[in-house]
Structure formats: C-alpha cells, structure tokens
C-alpha cells in the first residue's frame, strides 16, 4: 500500500514536539521576512534622503539657511540622517560661538555633537539587524533539535514492532527531517539578508563619516577669529 509522504501529511503526523518546533520556525521565518522587507524599504529611504540632502548641501546654499530649514521641520517630518547630523553639529557650533570660545573648542564641540548624532542614527539604521543574524545562526540548530527528537520518537515507536522494514521506518524519519528543512528555510534568507544589509549599512556609515569630516573642514574655515 503506497503511503502519502507529502509535506502536509508529514507535518500533521509528526509528534507534538516536532510540530511545535516547526510552528516556531515558521513564525520566525514570517517575522524575518517582515523585517527583511522593512529593512529594504527603510535603507532605500535613508539612501535617497541622504543623497537629496547632500545634493542640497553642496549646491551652494548658506549654512545658516540649511540649518534653519533643518531646524524648522516639524517632529513628524522624516529628514535624512545626514541632515540631522548636520543640524546637531551646526547647533553646537553656533551655541559655542555665541559663548565666544576659542576656535578649537568650537570645532571640537561641533564634532562631538555630530559623532553622538551619528551613533544614534546608526543605532536606528541597524535596528533588527541582530534579529536576522540570530535567526540565521540559530534556526538550523532548532530544526536539527526537532529532527533528532522526531527520530528518537520514531524509533521508540518502532521498538514495539516485531518486524521493521523500510516502509515502517521511512515515514517517521521523513517527518523528523521536515523540521531541519524548515529550519534551513528560515535561516538561509535571514543570512543572505543580514550580509546584504550589513554591507549596505557599512556604506551608509562611511558616507556619514565622510560628511562629518567634510563639514568639519567647512566649519574650520568659518570659525570666527578669537
């Protein structure tokens, strides 16, 4: 008699622990795909907004005009990370210049403010990236645990049989191996996405750090003599 070894049948006939592992991996996979699409959209928006602001910054506009535009945006407006870094540096620079501190103190204060803002922006950009790394590294082992448990459960059930054939062994082992397959299904996209996003975030970080250095040079040329 031919046995039905379809994926759905194997999942439905698996032991409770294996089904629990499969369900957890499927939910994790669904969440990771949600994170992947969210990061794809989010990083694209960051790149576009940074490029728009950088284009505006090098268009020849006065720094005070750029600062007023950046500071005048309502809290709900989504500005570029580069624009927020610029605003924090310019705000600190103007504050220290009003106190008539020496040129070095003005530049150091502006640079520290921009570095702090840079770190905050990078933390936001990197959000949920560690989740993808955890899914990519842990899911195969969780699937393997489900497989080992399923095989143990299958062999315990076979111990009561007088005659064991391949036909009696195959369904139990196949049910257990589905857990490993689902674990890999959850892990592989997460690993690929993690590597892609990490590379994209590195490029964004380099772009922001380069802007900080360039803006610092501009501020140095505009430091009021003391």
- For 206-220, the pLDDT digits (tens) are 999 999 999 999 998
Could you give the number of structural domains in the chain? 1
> How do residues 32-75 score in pLDDT, each as one tens digit?
999 999 999 999 999 999 999 999 999 988 888 899 988 877 65
Q: Which domain holds residue 181?
A: 7-221
The answer as to whether 173 is a domain residue is yes
Least confident of 67-71, 185-189, 195-199: 67-71
Q: Domain for residue 226, yes or no?
A: no
Task: Evaluate whether residue 23 is within a structural domain.
Answer: yes
**Position 44 in a domain:** yes
Supply the pLDDT for residue 226: 46
Could you tell me which of 203, 211, 200 has the C-alpha nearest to residue 85?
Answer: 211
Tokens for 107, please give them.
């530049």
CA–CA separation, 113 vs 215, rounded Å?
A: 12
pLDDT band at 166 (very low <50, low <70, confident <90, very high): low
Is pLDDT at 2 greater than 50 in this prediction?
no
2 is a domain residue? no
Residue 192 inside a domain? The answer is yes
Residue 1, in any domain of the structure: no
User: Is there a domain that residue 112 lies in?
Assistant: yes
């Amino acid at each position: 008699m031919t046995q039905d070894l379809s994926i759905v049948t194997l999942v439905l006939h698996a032991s409770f622990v294996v089904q629990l592992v499969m369900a957890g991996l499927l939910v994790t996979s669904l969440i990771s795909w949600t994170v992947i699409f969210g990061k794809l959209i989010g990083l694209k928006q960051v790149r576009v907004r940074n490029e728009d602001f950088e284009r505006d910054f090098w268009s020849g506009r006065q720094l005070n005009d750029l600062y007023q535009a950046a500071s005048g945006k309502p809290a709900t407006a989504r500005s570029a990370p580069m624009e927020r870094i610029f605003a924090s540096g310019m705000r600190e620079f103007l504050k220290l210049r009003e106190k008539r501190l020496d040129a070095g103190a003005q530049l150091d204060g502006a640079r520290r403010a921009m570095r702090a803002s840079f770190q905050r922006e990078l933390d936001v950009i990197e959000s949920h990236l560690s989740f993808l790394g955890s899914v990519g590294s842990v899911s195969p082992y969780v699937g393997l645990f489900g497989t080992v448990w399923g095989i143990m459960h299958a062999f315990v059930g076979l111990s009561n049989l007088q005659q064991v054939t391949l036909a009696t062994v195959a369904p139990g082992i196949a049910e257990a191996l589905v857990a490993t397959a689902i674990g890999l299904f959850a892990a592989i996209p997460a690993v690929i996405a993690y590597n892609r996003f990490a590379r994209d975030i590195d490029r964004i970080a380099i772009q922001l750090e380069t802007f900080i250095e360039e803006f610092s040079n501009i501020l140095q040329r505009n430091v009021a003599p003391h």
